[in-house]
Amino acid sequence: GIQVEQSPPDLILQEGANSTLRCNFSDSVNNLQWFHQNPWGQLINLFYIPSGTKQNGRLSATTVATERYSLLYISSSQTTDSGVYFCAVYGNNRLAFGKGNQVVVIP
Amino acid sequence: DTGVSQNPRHKITKRGQNVTFRCDPISEHNRLYWYRQTLGQGPEFLTYFQNEAQLEKSRLLSDRFSAERPKGSFSTLEIQRTEQGDSAMYLCASSFPGQNTEAFFGQGTRLTVV
């Protein structure tokens, strides 16, 4: 199956800092999503981004499908950005997830 | 529509007992997925349905696990003779069929087997 690797696994940020999370995947895909898992465990949709760049407030994402990676940018981080970010790619009729990026934003 | 809904949110059970979880997908979605997530890991695929048909099951889904979607709407996931290793978050997602669609997840059911 498709392998998904996320880096860095853990990230500690000072409030107000910017950061970049990376997702590499092993095969060409037609569908990629970024999620934020809240403290109660629910996966919140951030971006559906099979290719190109999208922005939503302080978050933006870029997927370069031909080079098999996606980036999630967090600008001017806030404590509410803390949590685990997952990248998931679609293949074989299901989403395959990475292990996530654990982000802690300290005030 | 308020999104994907899962019940219960939490379940604590004794080893050896049976448990059943329910998932109500977004009403227009005919694809429904079950995933399992353990601590420190990403969600892992268990099974999926297209309407009422269960089209694929992961090898993670042992014979103690069974899932149904009898009328192509809500789905249930039953675990028989629970073991401590079954303790995990069980997540349900729904989408339109095909590869170019966005999946949405429910709140999850956190199972603890004592």
Q: Which of A23, A47, A46 is nearest to A36 (CA)?
A: A46
Q: Say whether A33 and B102 touch across the interface (CB within 8 A).
A: yes
Residues A41, B113: Cα–Cα separation, whole Å: 18
Give contacts of A100 with chain B, Cβ < 8 Å. 42
Q: Which of B2, B15, B25 is nearest to B77 (CA)?
A: B25
Token readout for B46 is: 């268990």
- Average pLDDT of chain B? 95
Contact B49, B75 (CB under 8 A): yes
Position A92 scores a pLDDT of 85
Which residue in chain B is spatially nearest to A29 when comparing CA positions? Answer: B99
Which residue in chain A is spatially nearest to B55 when comparing CA positions? Answer: A93
Mean pLDDT of A27-39: 91
**pLDDT for A30 beyond 90:** no
**pLDDT for A3 beyond 90:** yes
**pLDDT for B2 beyond 80:** no
Position A67 scores a pLDDT of 95
Q: Which of B88, B22, B102, B65 is nearest to A95 (CA)?
A: B102
* Interface probe with B: pick from A31, A43, A92, A102, most Cβ of B within 10 Å: A43
Q: Say whether B89 and A41 touch across the interface (CB within 8 A).
A: yes
Position with higher pLDDT, A40 vs A88: A88
pLDDT in tens, B49-85: 999 999 999 998 889 999 999 988 999 999 999 999 9
Domain ranges in chain A are 4-106
pLDDT in tens, A59-69: 999 999 999 99
**Which residue carries 């009328």 as its tokens?**
B71
Token readout for A32 is: 């990629």
Token readout for B27 is: 């009403």
| B99, B101, B108: residue with CB nearest A41 | B108
Secondary structure string (H, E, C) spanning B9-63: CEEEECCCCCEEEEEECCCCCCEEEEEEECCCCCCEEEEEEECCEEEEECCCCCC
Q: Say whether A30 and B33 touch across the interface (CB within 8 A).
A: no
**Which residue carries 């977004």 as its tokens?**
B26
**pLDDT for B1 beyond 60:** no
CATH of domain A4-106: 2.60.40.10
Scanning A32-71 for CB atoms below 8 A from B yields 33, 35, 40-43, 45, 48, 50
- Average pLDDT of chain A? 95
Position B6 scores a pLDDT of 98
